[in-house]
Structure 1
Amino acid sequence: MGAQLPSKGDQRREQIVAMLKQNGRVTVQELVDKLHCSEATARRDLDVLEKTESIIRTIGGAIYDGHHPAREVSFQEKTTISWLEKERIALKAASLIVEGDVIGLSGGTTTYHIARAIKNRKGITVVTNAINIAMELADSDDIQVVVAGGVLRHKSFELCGPLAEQVISSLNIGKMFLGIDGVAAGKGMTTYSESEAQIAKMLIKRADQTFAVFDRTKVGRVSLFSIAPLSAAHACITDAPLHAEFQQELDRLHIRVHVAD
């Protein structure tokens, strides 16, 4: 018997991958227009491809990540990736924060969502080195914000360098919520920036508890600079159950996993 011809769906998804490789990104509306399919079909195709190809789903489309598996994107671009999942993670994190807490928020889109989730709360002190998080909380009269100064990194809005390190070294943080770019067994928690990794290390050191916050796209990814081994985290907050091997490693290290509702 001859080889089975690819189905219409397979052919359509091959076209989508080709478009992504050529352009770097694609919107659902572009797929509808160019492939003459329904919006629902386009979304389903992207969901299928996310599991098999080097693509990341965004609000309204997808971006291709095959040529740059460890590249850093801008904060604005990151905000479109896994938006709803990050909101759910933020709400779970907010449920662990109580009046009187001194919390730390590193830079990142997930931690930014945490700031939004707690901005109407009372009696909380927030330590951060991210100016966008500080600005989000600036009009919250019942939240004290402590900002570590330093040199601004435009991709993340984080302040880094000796000035930030000097401020953080004198602070005591109760619960640290740490945004990361990658997490993997054996490699620990990683990030794209050496200066951000250094600040994150200090924030962990000054905290009683560290909560690593990450969506499913970060699991198994390894970025260039190491922040800390998995054992440095007291708990993780994520948006979906972890695969068995990674969950077993966290269990071995007695790291609690909070899965967002």
Structure 2
Amino acid sequence: MLFSARQVQIAEMVRQQDFIRVEVLARHFNVTTQTIRRDLNLLCARGIARRTHGGVQRMNIPGNVAYAWRQTLNSEAKQTIAREVARHVPNGVSLAFSIGTTPEIVFKALLAHRQLRIFTNNLNIAMLACTNPTFEVTVAGGRLRNEDRDVMGAGMEALFGAYKVDIGIYGVAGVDQDGTLLDFYEEEVRARQMIRENSRSAFLVLDHTKFGRAAHVRGGKIDEATTVFCDRTPPAAIVSIVEQSGVKLIVCKGEKTP
């Protein structure tokens, strides 16, 4: 489900505050309270917030936030990244996609391409891919994680281990100051590593908020990608690591470093 621009802004306001009144939101967006209540009903149904008397409050979720909420966070930055990645993907190639909201948004930017061969453990991406009749889609089999709609474990490993694709596209929960990639679950690290190992080119896609973000499972380094796409120039220490490794860094507002 796609959120409107107003709903995305409301979700971000809720994330930053403990409680917001309906009337405050209505004045801020210059709409009726009935319109705001419809927005809030949708956000609450997706687990992004909780309705209270007269307003809405944020959900306190341990670990990584809910997938539906992550879809709203930094959406403009992710769209910028997606448009740039799409320019680097030719028609007719094979691609592996991991889980995560940024890879999903990147994939949406590829829907006008033709004759792509898609390999993924992400059912959100697989169902989107089926809307283009020229795409060929191969998915992992096995048990789904309900919230993220992805397949982990033996089915995921069998899929990514069976093919050598042209481009692998993956995201990450966080990047430590030494360039170590971080995630919240071991299975997510394994999926990302298998895509990188079985791709001729590896595209790491991440927005600027991932630098310094705390996540506790280590797995891989930023300089193992072929190309890193980000919406802003990373911290100086990260730029130095990337430059010394020869990895291509593309800052998706037109600024590039070799």
TM beyond 0.5: yes
Scaled by the length of structure 1, the TM-score of the pair is 0.74
Shift of 1:179: 1.2
Shift of 1:228: 1.0
Give the one of 115, 118, 142 matched to 2:134.
142
- Residue 71 of structure 2 corresponds to 79
Deviations 1:205-227 (A, max 9, x none): 11111111001111122412123
The answer to whether the 8 Å contact 2:179/2:221 transfers is yes
Give the one of 8, 33, 47 matched to 2:24.
33
Q: Could you say what secondary structure the match of 1:199 adopts? A: helix
Segments of 5+ residues of structure 1 without an aligned counterpart are: 1-15, 41-57
- Residue 185 of structure 1 corresponds to 177
Q: For residues 219 and 64 of structure 1, do their structure 2 counterparts lie closer, same or farther at Cα, with a shift above 3 Å needed?
A: farther
Shift of 1:168: 1.6
- Residue 92 of structure 1 corresponds to 84
Q: Percent identity?
A: 21
- Residue 102 of structure 1 corresponds to 94
Deviations 1:96-122 (A, max 9, x none): 100121111111111111121111210
Q: Which amino acid aligns with 1:243?
A: P
Give the one of 164, 169, 190 matched to 1:198.
190
- Residue 5 of structure 2 corresponds to none
1:254 aligned to 2:249?
no
Shift of 1:39: 6.5
The answer to whether the 8 Å contact 1:187/1:222 transfers is no
Segments of 5+ residues of structure 2 without an aligned counterpart are: 1-12, 31-47, 49-56, 254-258
Q: Which amino acid aligns with 1:33?
A: V
Give the one of 126, 129, 134 matched to 2:118.
126
Q: For residues 101 and 219 of structure 1, do their structure 2 counterparts lie closer, same or farther at Cα, with a shift above 3 Å needed?
A: same
Structure with higher Rg: it is 1
Scaled by the length of structure 2, the TM-score of the pair is 0.74
The answer to whether the 8 Å contact 2:229/2:249 transfers is yes
Q: For residues 179 and 186 of structure 1, do their structure 2 counterparts lie closer, same or farther at Cα, with a shift above 3 Å needed?
A: same
The answer to whether the 8 Å contact 1:110/1:179 transfers is yes
- Residue 236 of structure 2 corresponds to 244
1:221 aligned to 2:213?
yes
Q: Could you say what secondary structure the match of 1:98 adopts? A: coil
Q: Could you say what secondary structure the match of 1:118 adopts? A: coil
Structure 1 residue ranges, 4+ long, deviating more than 4 angstroms after superposition: 37-40
Q: Could you say what secondary structure the match of 2:238 adopts? A: helix
Shift of 1:243: 2.4
The answer to whether the 8 Å contact 1:185/1:230 transfers is no
1:231 aligned to 2:223?
yes
